[in-house]
Amino acid sequence: MEDLSQSDFNFSDNYYEDYDVVEPCSYTSNRSLEQVMGPYVHSIICILGFLGNSLVIVTYACYKRTKSMTDIFLLNVAIADLLFVLALPLIVYNEMSSWSMGQWACKLLRGTYSVNLYSGMLLLACISTDRYIAIVQARRSFRLRSQFYSRIICIIVWVCAILLSVPTFVFYHWYEPSHTRDIIMMHEENITFSPHYVCEFKFSDNGTAARSKITIPSTQLAVGFFLPLLIMIFCYTAVIIVLLRAKNFQRHKGLQFVLAVVAVFIICHLPYNITLLYDTVKIFDQHTCKASETMQMAKTVTQTIAYLHCCLNPVFVCLYWGEVQKPDQGNRPGGPKSRDIK
């Protein structure tokens, strides 16, 4: 998920020019938490995510059977997650100290991070829609679920993800905040120190910065979580109703695995998005340093939980592909064939 902390919205160094220099909140406890999450927990997530999603891509390439629309969507989810686990360690490494990789890497890594966020969520919504068409609209499923359509949909998803990430590519900058220099000089005169660079959102005027505090997280919440969630709820509610009426739930083997993917989506992403929603609603309220640090710690923990999705998705994908490879021995006359719901 896009990391949207309060510090990310110190867009313009001019923000501090009209005021006496005031030392900001130190966030000592949150920094200590990040020192554990960054090099240890995130490293484990990246290793497992890289191995798992690489396995998914290799397995897809080695499959001899005809690829279904769901297969193609799951492949693209794996690609999105793989891009994420390749970008995350570089972001963590640079954020543990001063960002040392320069402007180009700042924009590229943050932009890749954002593209993965949107593409992964939208692809999960596409999988839900595919399950809905395959089971609820079974008579039209062959016409609507061709490989041609699935590839077109994936291209559209990736283009949308890139367009939604344009603000990240454009407005993330590599720079040395002037207020950091002022605070250090205020405490210790004639001190010699290395420049501390950051990779954060930076705008030229405070009006744009204030609007972005609302529009950026609101877009992330709307498109990156609530829209896919609503699509999943609608599609799978309709699917379950149809299957219960048909009394042939067991024959839809692949469904339970796709449902598991959706469950992982909710468990992993709901805590962070609820935290982000609360923080966005309260963004212009005055907060004590203790309250602000508590919110930052909550976002750090829930964001790490959200990262887990890139490790868990490959497990369910491999189980799904292994199950649909088995011959369907439970077909009854008049019921839908197993190929209809793959």
DSSP 137-179: TGGGHHHH--HHHHHHHHHHHHHHHHHHTHHHHHHEEEE--HH
pLDDT at res. 31? 76
Domains of the chain are 6-323 (1.20.1070.10)
Is 198:177 a contact under the CB 8 Å cutoff?
yes
Q: Which residues pair with residue 175 across a beta bridge? A: 198
Angle, to 10 degrees, between the axis of helix 69-95 and the axis of helix 102-135?
150
Angle, to 10 degrees, between the axis of helix 147-164 and the axis of helix 69-95?
20
d(CA 159, CA 182): 42
Instruction: Flag the least confident range among 2-6, 138-142, 195-199.
Output: 2-6
Span 112-142, pLDDT tens digits: 889 988 999 999 899 889 888 888 877 766 6
Question: How far is residue 72 from each of residues 14, 77, 84, 314, 340, measured CA to CA in Å?
Answer: 48, 9, 19, 14, 16
pLDDT tier at 258, thresholds 50, 70, 90: low
pLDDT at res. 249? 55
If DSSP codes are grouped into helix, strand and coil, which group holds residue 21? coil
pLDDT tier at 253, thresholds 50, 70, 90: low
pLDDT at res. 67? 74
Per the listing, tokens 């990040």 go with 34
Angle, to 10 degrees, between the axis of helix 42-62 and the axis of helix 309-324?
20
What percentage of residues in the chain have a pLDDT greater than 90? Answer: 21
Q: Is residue 169 scored above 80 in pLDDT? A: yes
pLDDT tier at 195, thresholds 50, 70, 90: low
- Average pLDDT for the chain: 77
First to last CA, the chain: 30
Span 33-76, pLDDT tens digits: 877 787 788 889 999 999 999 999 998 888 766 678 888 998 99
Average pLDDT over residues 76-102: 83
Angle, to 10 degrees, between the axis of helix 253-281 and the axis of helix 227-246?
150
Q: How many CA atoms lie within 13 A of 65 on its CB side?
A: 13
E strands of 104-239, at which residues? Answer: 172-175, 198-201
Average pLDDT over residues 286-304: 84
Average pLDDT over residues 201-220: 82
Is 82:50 a contact under the CB 8 Å cutoff?
yes
pLDDT tier at 171, thresholds 50, 70, 90: confident
d(CA 310, CA 113): 13
